[in-house]
Structure 1
Amino acid sequence: MSSQYDTLAAITNLTAELPLRKYYEEYTFFQALGDIKGRSVLDVACGTGLYSRRFQQRGAARVVGIDNSEGMIDYARHLEASQPLGIEYHVLDAASARGLGTFDVVAATYLLHYAPTREVLRDMCTSLFASLAPGGRLVSICMSPDIELADASYYRKYGFEVASQGKGDGDVATLTSVAPGLPFTISAHHWSRATYEEALRGAGLREVVWHPPQIAPEGITALGAEYWTEYLRLPHAEVVSCVK
């Protein structure tokens, strides 16, 4: 178990420090999320709890993280036991989360693009809707509908490459890390903006907003504005929010 924890810790720590995650993803996500002090938050597909811990540190009243990976949840619980923040973790998927009650905020980071069909995407959105309290907000990070697929090396300087089996709605795209010491490959589905919105609205969610990609001021200082120009033109991931 300790070797598993070591591996998960290394991956979590390395990805958390990647410029793209630290200066783009987290910054854009939390700008969209807004003030969560005193709010209840459900972190769906929480992995090792990176965002769950961020939510608690930002003043959330209750944070619950769920993931269908037992190994990820075991490691998240290990971190919680080492540095208690009061976060609950459960081995569950979004469809099984209804017994946990409803929440002011549901966060779904890198979840929706794993839906292999429109029907599954709609089911995911319906499950997220069910976990929201009336007036609650869903904030999600997903593969951008505008991701660059023609040039596999487009994102190389940001730490990864992207290849696709096609450019149709729902086709599989594979992201391969080229960051030193961080080898991994992830496959997901690139859905159009219209398909995402149809699934979200079909589940009963409203006020769907795609948030413009932003870079933290620290990221501009550290790497310069020019470094981010190509990424901001065609980000590989975008933040979308909506309300119940």
Structure 2
Amino acid sequence: MASRFDALGDMYEEMFRLPWRAHLESFSVLRALGALEGEQIYDIGCGTGLYSRVMKRRGAARVVGYDISEGMIAVARRREADRPLGIEYTTTASDAEAGAFGRALGVYILPYAEDYTTLVEMCSIAARALRPGGLFVTLPVNPDYHGGRAYYERYGLRLFDAEPRADASRVTLELCFGRYAEQITARYWTRGTLERALRESGFEAIDWPAFRVSEEGIARYGEEFWHPYLDCPHASMITCAKV
């Protein structure tokens, strides 16, 4: 899977500026993470470092970005070299700093677990990094996402079943905005299985907070623009705490 993303760094950078990511997703994720001043944060599946940079600018004392894609990390390191923030980037998940972090973020990492064992392993990366009581925020595919091929098009994406929905079944994500038309295969997981994997990995207090839109997003695009996504988002947000 890493090689599939090595060449997509520029697209992911531009996608972060789309309205739904700028005014809904990132707004909601940062609300869920809470105050970041002085925190140590582990950004799992950091890609080109988009969230890593935002969190560091919001006062995090330390941010470590981890991704298995050499291409994504190369872009992240170039951004760090151009405008140094003191972010560390790595392609290796090490246990050397187990329990060192107060927050862990995993945006769209769980949809790439192809089986339950891998799903638990991904959750466990976050659990090992966190100290007891540490917060993990992650975004899987919404177990109840809308199956209509065109439902999310106004936001620059399409998401639809590639096979009947069941744990680990394939879903097709099409990123369709600007000059881009990329198709990615992700995996669907039921709500119960996601919660079971998190508990098995050492998490408790599992919650599914709703997405919210920033005041700027409403002012710029109007409330009607956001209704389809808020009614049935393509992703869910999960928060949980390390036991």
Same fold (TM over 0.5): yes
Q: What TM-score comes out, normalization by structure 2 length?
A: 0.92
Residue 122 of structure 2 corresponds to which residue in structure 1? Answer: 124
Amino acid at match of 2:57: Q
Flag as ranges the 4+ runs of structure 1 deviating above 6 A.
none
Structure 1 runs not aligned, ≥5 long: 1-6
- Partners of 1:100 and 1:69 in 2: CA distance: 21
Residue 157 of structure 1 corresponds to which residue in structure 2? Answer: 154
SS at match of 1:241: strand
Residue 4 of structure 1 corresponds to which residue in structure 2? Answer: none
**Following TM superposition, by how much is the alpha carbon of 1:169 offset from its aligned partner in structure 2, in angstroms?**
2.6
Contact 1:8 1:75 in 2 (8 A): no
Residue 229 of structure 1 corresponds to which residue in structure 2? Answer: 227
Contact 2:13 2:48 in 1 (8 A): no
1:43 and 2:43 aligned: yes
SS at match of 2:94: helix
Contact 2:9 2:72 in 1 (8 A): no
- Deviations 1:87-126, CA, capped at 9 Å, x for gaps: 011112xxx3312442111111110111111221112212
Amino acid at match of 1:23: H
- Deviations 1:193-237, CA, capped at 9 Å, x for gaps: 111101001111000011111111111111111111111111001
**Following TM superposition, by how much is the alpha carbon of 1:8 offset from its aligned partner in structure 2, in angstroms?**
5.6
Contact 1:163 1:174 in 2 (8 A): yes
Residue 240 of structure 1 corresponds to which residue in structure 2? Answer: 238
**Following TM superposition, by how much is the alpha carbon of 1:172 offset from its aligned partner in structure 2, in angstroms?**
0.7
Contact 1:110 1:141 in 2 (8 A): yes
Q: How many residues align?
A: 234
Contact 1:42 1:103 in 2 (8 A): yes
Residue 65 of structure 2 corresponds to which residue in structure 1? Answer: 65
Q: What TM-score comes out, normalization by structure 1 length?
A: 0.92
Q: What is the 5 A alignment of 1:159-178?
A: 159-164=156-161, 165-178=163-176
Residue 16 of structure 1 corresponds to which residue in structure 2? Answer: 16
Residue 3 of structure 1 corresponds to which residue in structure 2? Answer: none
1:97 and 2:102 aligned: no
Residue 75 of structure 2 corresponds to which residue in structure 1? Answer: 75
Would the alpha carbon gap of residues 201 and 9 (structure 1) be closer, same or farther in structure 2, given more than 3 Å must change?
closer
1:206 and 2:214 aligned: no
- Partners of 2:45 and 2:53 in 1: CA distance: 14
Amino acid at match of 2:24: Y
**Following TM superposition, by how much is the alpha carbon of 1:46 offset from its aligned partner in structure 2, in angstroms?**
0.5
RMSD between aligned residues: 1.4
**Following TM superposition, by how much is the alpha carbon of 1:10 offset from its aligned partner in structure 2, in angstroms?**
3.5
